[in-house]
Structure 1
Amino acid sequence: MSDQDFILVDEEDKERSTENNTEKNTGNNTGGEDGQPDRDAVTESPSAGTVKDEIAAAEKKEEDSEDEYEKICFICHRPESVTGKMIELPNHITVCPDCMQKSFDAMTSGAVDLNRLMNTPGIQFLNLSDLENMQPRQQKIKKKKEKPKEFHQLDIRKIPAPHKIKARLDEYVVGQEYAKKAMSVAVYNHYKRVAAGAADDIEIEKSNMLMIGPTGSGKTYLVKTLARLLDVPLAITDATSLTEAGYIGDDIESVVSKLLAAADNDVEKAEQGIIFIDEIDKIAKKQNSNQRDVSGESVQQGMLKLLEGSDVEVPVGANSKNAMVPLTTVNTKNILFICAGAFPDLEGIIRERLQKKTSMGFNAELKDKYENDKDILSKVTVEDLRKFGMIPEFLGRLPIIFTLKGLDKDMLVKILKEPKNAILKQYQKLLALDEVRLDFNNDALEAIAEKAMKKDTGARALRAIIEEFMLDIMYEIPKDDSIGEVIITREYIEGTGGPVIRLRGQEMPLLG
């Protein structure tokens, strides 16, 4: 708005004020011949208390708001409060991100022929000074004053103790006792550290974790369950998609962007969340490579500051940085990082180290023991991980290292039926909605576990196996209201028979 516009506004205000004063004087002089006010013209005045309340409310409203002028898009004429932050061009021209993106897309896609555009009559006479005169006038708006954001510090008394965290994990996760205990203590110490802050000279280091375990041992499920129990935002990413900045793939900082999205773009909440990076063994340093390792050692180097704690600029509401997307800063100092991987060749490195002193004589029996040791991963050391390809600086920022055991048949059977949200309980709930009871023989559960063991993918195979043999049952049941109970047998799992179907008071095989 120009100075002339402000002058005009002031003149209008003066004229309006003069008219109001004239009306007031006229009203005050209204009366009879004796100078007394006309009784018919007298109105009941509001009480003094009401007037004071109105004045106080008006002053409060004025304090909470302030006049500001809002920028308008040159193309679509929408205000900045609707479009988001405007892009400023020379000569005070403003364009919203949407219109700028559409214009850019139209020009780069070939929809606009610039040669023909320049030959359009009159186009050569258009310049930026002309556009300035065409720019929509800024709007005057009432904008509420932003109140300072309160920082909600964690209360140490509200952080569950390790035994309580483990007890909750026990309800959902079968086995892996050592892993659950180690994770419970690490999480408890981490959030105590966050709650304590930097109150004294002793700075407590972060309890970032590294989980090592075979495929399907429950690494991801354990972290998901933990985040749900603690009610903190969780971001899960795959290390195989990460590359050094500037190369094709996800930047290392993109994991923080995912966490911010999981926290509904609440920076304070995101800064107390958990980031889980799976397949971390895939970014191990490549051996004997002369080329730049953009998806291995370089990624480890790039993650060092992130793990330790640093300010990261991330886009709000988008996965990648863009000129059209606003950025915000997230500090990773209090974000808990949990890395996990199967480390398939790590067992050989551990055995080689343990067998160096058992190559001959009476130690031969010990050598055979290591060869057949199914729990060999639990004997891992930092040196073993370094030989695998993880750099020392990276391992130094993951002080809590623990392993998960591979799942045997008994553990798979327990996973099927014991957790709160066990797979069998989920299918029983589905059939209960059709008023049908679903039961499994113990032999059937063992047959399912045996099939899963052959697939060598751990607990991941269980749902696929159950879904396969439950398909026909879930298809047939809604067609027949007389079915009251379905019993799954080993014969049905192995394909040599069918399930037992009980009607109302009857027992006879209907499927298979």
Structure 2
Amino acid sequence: MTNQDDNNQEIEKVEDVEVETTKKTSDSDDKKQNDEYEKVCFICRRPESVAGKMIELPNHICVCNDCMQKSFDAMSNGPIDYSQLMNIPGVQVFNMSDMEQSIPKQQKIKKKKEGEEYKPLVDIRNLPAPHKIKAKLDEYVVGQEYAKKVMSVAVYNHYKRVATDSMDDIEIEKSNMLMIGPTGSGKTYLVKTLARILDVPLAITDATSLTEAGYIGDDIESVVSKLLAAADNDVEKAEQGIIFIDEIDKIAKKKNSSQRDVSGESVQQGMLKLLEGSDVEVPVGATSKNAMVPLTTVNTRNILFICGGAFPDLEGIIKERLTKQAAIGFGADLRDKYNNDKEILKKVATEDLRVFGMIPEFLGRLPIVFTLQGMSEDMLVEILKEPKNAILKQYQKLLALDEVKLEFDDGALHAIAKKAMKKDTGARALRAIIEEFMLDIMYEIPKDDNIGEVVITKEYIEGTGGPVIMLRGQEVPRLQ
């Protein structure tokens, strides 16, 4: 019995040691993880790098020296004697656990390591050349050759600039871009693909929600805040990322408006400092500085800004300018000469964008302006089948999981493209049309294990027939 008791005691001791070791390991892991992030003052929300060393209170609350001193001064110089309140039975003046409940979801900022050298996110030796960047874009994006070429060169030059970090006397300017194109022409898709190729942080934001400081809506700095979140709150990483601001045409100066314009010209003026490159105080994990979150400083000098917009009615402004220029004299052009010109957007000039409502200072900070052409029927057919993640390939993969082969004949593809052209929403219309026709097929096929192949025909798309369905091992198709 004695030996048994001794053995049990030894086992208990070993278990206690293991528990204690595990606890110590988890504590050290937590400490190590916390060491990577800055402490933030609970009262003023400034990080350690700005406010200085923090005073740690229970329940993970940190207060900077300034705020602590102000709190003591307020208590000692105020009209209330807090020492008397402490002696009243049943009265609790200060409860730290209640204070912990009022802390919002903690946002952390990564520390900058002391003595660490500046490391460019994209190594100049590994930076792909413009033709390689364009070749990668070609795999995912159909057409838009000029736009892909311009973007490849601009991004290549920008990251060369970031990598060298102005080592010599010649300072290279930023190559911010403005892309103009109708809806569904692939503006957002181009930028997403570009960021994936380069493996850099990307923030995609909308200009429609931005307002002047002090009004309901997102502050202008929120675009940088989204990039910081994409870079895992690492300031140095975020300072070398890409920001794509979509719907930029929605912040154009409003014409003939008697009301105060808080989301138009004033937003353009507020964005000037971001585009140029300056130190911006950014809320971490929020869209407003008034939120109870830490603030950090981000320098936008090496952030590439790409602005995109559909700019409706810009075509009319371009036509008006062109016909004015050549409307008088013997060599005058006809007024309706440009009415059927599908590439009228390519003739855009800075003057047209100013008439649209963009201020000259804003346009001056976007030196690279290029246009994307609208979708033609042939381009839509290519979009259906050519890219790496084409819609047809996605459906073929889905049905391949059910061991069924899916084919679309050329007539069906052109019929889908014609329907998409009528919707006038570019490549976005394709998905909606295919979803509509594939619904019944996706529903019925899993019912019958004998089905081996489905061919979508032109007649099925036009509503005059059905798809061709072949059973496994069957050579002659059976019409459904």
TM-score normalized with structure 1 length: 0.73
Deviation at 1:321, TM superposition (A): 3.0
Of the three residues 215, 239, 246, the one matched with 1:278 is: 246
1:387 corresponds to? 355
Cα distance change of structure 1 residues 473 and 125 upon mapping to structure 2, 3 Å threshold: closer
- Report how far residue 466 of structure 1 moved: 0.8
Cα distance in 2 between the residues matched to 1:329 and 1:211: 29
Partners of 1:174 and 1:79 in 2: CA distance: 53
Give the CA deviation at 1:126.
5.7
Structure-1 residue corresponding to 2:56: 71
The residue aligned with 1:152 is 119
| Partner amino acid, structure 1, of 2:275 | L
Preserved contact between residue 470 and residue 477 of structure 2 (Cα < 8 Å):
yes
Matched, 1:325 2:293: yes
The change in CA–CA distance for 1:509 and 1:193 in structure 2 (over 3 A counts) is same
In the other structure, the counterpart of 1:408 is 376
Amino acid at match of 2:469: I
Unaligned runs of 5+ in 2: 1-34, 36-52, 75-86, 100-110
In the alignment, the residues of structure 1 paired with residue 301 and residue 375 of structure 2 have an alpha-carbon distance, to the nearest angstrom, of: 35
Count of aligned pairs:
399
> Are 1:476 and 2:449 counterparts?
no
Which amino acid in 1 is paired with 2:214?
G
Query: For the residues of structure 2 that align with 1:381 and 1:334, how far apart are their CA atoms?
Result: 27
Identical residues among aligned pairs (%): 78
Please say if 1:502 is aligned against 2:478: no
**Counterparts of 2:391 and 2:443 in 1: how far apart (Å)?**
19
Give CA-to-partner distance per residue, 1:358-413, whole Å, 9 cap, x none: 32565455543322211011011111111111000000000000000000100000
> 1:174 matched to which residue of 2?
142
In structure 1, the residue matched to 2:429 is: 461
Greater relative contact order: 1 or 2 (C-alpha under 8 angstroms, separation 6 or more)? 2
Superposition pairs of residues 294-333 of structure 1, within 5 angstroms: 294-322=262-290, 324-333=292-301
Alignment equivalent of 2:395, drawn from 419, 427, 433: 427
Tell whether the 8 Å contact from 2:222 to 2:283 is kept in structure 1 after alignment: no
- Of 408, 425, 429, the residue aligned with 1:440 is 408
**CA 1:85 to 1:434, structure 2 compared with 1: closer, same or farther past 3 Å?**
farther
Residue deviations 1:44-70, cap 9 Å, x none? xxxxxxxxxxxxxxxxxxxx9xxx997
- Distance, in Å, in 1 between the alignment partners of 2:259 and 2:190 is 37
Between the aligned partners of 1:236 and 1:426, the Cα distance in structure 2 is: 25
Residue equivalent to 2:200: 232
Question: Counterpart of 1:152 in structure 2: which amino acid?
Answer: K
Q: What is the CA-CA distance between 1:473 and the residue it aligns to?
A: 1.1
Find the aligned partners of 2:112 and 2:243 in 1 and give their Cα distance.
35
TM-superposed deviation, 1:202: 1.8
1:268 to 211, 236, 241: 236
Report if aligned partners of 2:406, 2:455 keep a CA contact under 8 Å in 1.
yes
Structure 1 residues 189 and 340, CA, compared in 2 at 3 Å: closer, same or farther? same
1:275 corresponds to which letter in structure 2?
A: I
Quick one: which amino acid aligns to residue 194 of structure 1?
A: V
Which letter does structure 1 place at the counterpart of 2:135?
Answer: A
**Maintained 8 Å contact 2:278/2:300:** yes
TM score, norm. by length of structure 2? 0.77
Give unmatched runs, 5+ long, in structure 1: 1-63, 94-120, 136-143
Q: Name which one, 1 or 2, has greater alpha-carbon Rg.
A: 1
What residue in structure 2 maps to residue 50 of structure 1? none
Q: Which moved more, 1:476-485 or 1:167-176?
A: 476-485
Give the Å deviation of 1:123: 6.9
1:356 alignment partner in structure 2: 324
* Aligned residue in 2 for 1:139: none
CA distance in 2, matches of 1:464, 1:479: 24
Q: Which residue of structure 2 aligns with residue 334 of structure 1?
A: 302
**Cα separation, 2, equivalents of 1:145 and 1:304:** 28
Written as runs of structure 1 = structure 2, the 5 A alignment for 1:129-208 is 148-153=115-120, 154-208=122-176
Letter in 1 for 2:119: H
> Helix, strand or coil for the counterpart of 2:125?
helix
Q: CA contact under 8 A between 1:267 and 1:330: conserved in structure 2?
A: yes
Which one-letter code corresponds to 1:466 in the other structure? Answer: I
Give the aligned CA root-mean-square deviation in angstroms.
Answer: 2.8
Is the partner of 1:246 in helix, strand or coil?
coil
Counterpart-to-counterpart distance in 1, 2:113 and 2:124: 30
Aligned with residue 315 of structure 2, among 333, 336, 347? 347
Which residue does the alignment assign to 1:4? Answer: none
